[in-house]
Amino acid sequence: MNGAQWTIKALRKKGVEIIFGYPGGAIMPIYDALFDSEVEHLLCRHEQGAIMSAIGYARATGKIGVCFATSGPGATNLITGLADALLDSIPIVAITGQVGLEFIGTDAFQEIDVLGLSLACTKHSFLVHSLNMLPDIIDEAFFIASEGRPGPVLIDIPKDIQLSTGKLISNYCINKKDICSIESDIEKARVLMLQACQPILYVGGGVGMAGAVTSLRTFISKTKIPTVVTLKGLGAPDYTEDCYLGMLGMHGNQAANLAVQKSDLLIAIGARFDDRVTGRLHTFAPHAKVIHVDIDPSEFSKLRLANVSLSGNLNDLLFALTQSLSIDPWRKKVKSLKLKYRWSYQSSDDKIYAPTLLRTISENAPYDTVVTTDVGQHQMWAAQHMQFSRPENFITSGGLGTMGFGTPAAIGAQIGRPNHMVICISGDGSFMMNIQELATIKRKNLPIKIVLLDNQRLGMVRQWQQLFFNKRYSETTLTDNPNFLVLAKAFDIHGICITYTSQILDAINMLFTHTGPFLLHALINEHENVWPLVPPGSSNDAMLEQ
User: Catalytic residue numbers?
Assistant: 47, 109-110, 159, 460
Residues 6+ apart with CB under 8 A from 230: 202, 203, 204, 205, 247, 248, 249, 271, 274, 277, 398
- How far is 355 from 13, CA to CA, in rounded Å? 45
Residues 6+ apart with CB under 8 A from 56: 65, 372, 395, 408, 409, 410, 411, 412, 413, 416
Nearest to residue 96, comparing CAs of 204, 196, 81?
A: 81
Q: How far apart are the first and last CA of the chain?
A: 65
Burial class (CB in 10 A: 0-12, 13-18, 19+), 329: exposed
- How far is 316 from 322, CA to CA, in rounded Å? 10
User: Sheet harboring 18-21: ordered strands across?
Assistant: 40-43, 18-21, 65-69, 92-98, 152-158, 124-127
Burial class (CB in 10 A: 0-12, 13-18, 19+), 35: exposed
Question: In whole angstroms, what separates CA 497 from the centre of its chain?
Answer: 28
The 3-state DSSP class for residue 420 equals: coil
Distances (CA, A) of 211 to 206, 217, 465: 9, 12, 40
Nearest to residue 445, comparing CAs of 394, 468, 411?
A: 411
- How far is 55 from 135, CA to CA, in rounded Å? 24
In the DSSP assignment, the letter for residue 366 is P
CA dihedral 110, 115, 116, 118 (to 10 degrees): 100
**Are the C-beta atoms of 70 and 148 separated by less than 8 Å?**
no
Q: Report DSSP letters for 488-523, one per residue.
A: HHHTT-EEEEE-BGGGHHHHHHHHHH-SS-EEEEEE
**Are the C-beta atoms of 107 and 136 separated by less than 8 Å?**
no
**Are the C-beta atoms of 495 and 518 separated by less than 8 Å?**
yes
**Main-chain phi, psi angles of 450, to 5 degrees:** -105, 125
Other C-beta atoms closer than 10 Å to the C-beta of 474 total: 9
| DSSP strand pairing (518-523 vs 18-21) | unpaired
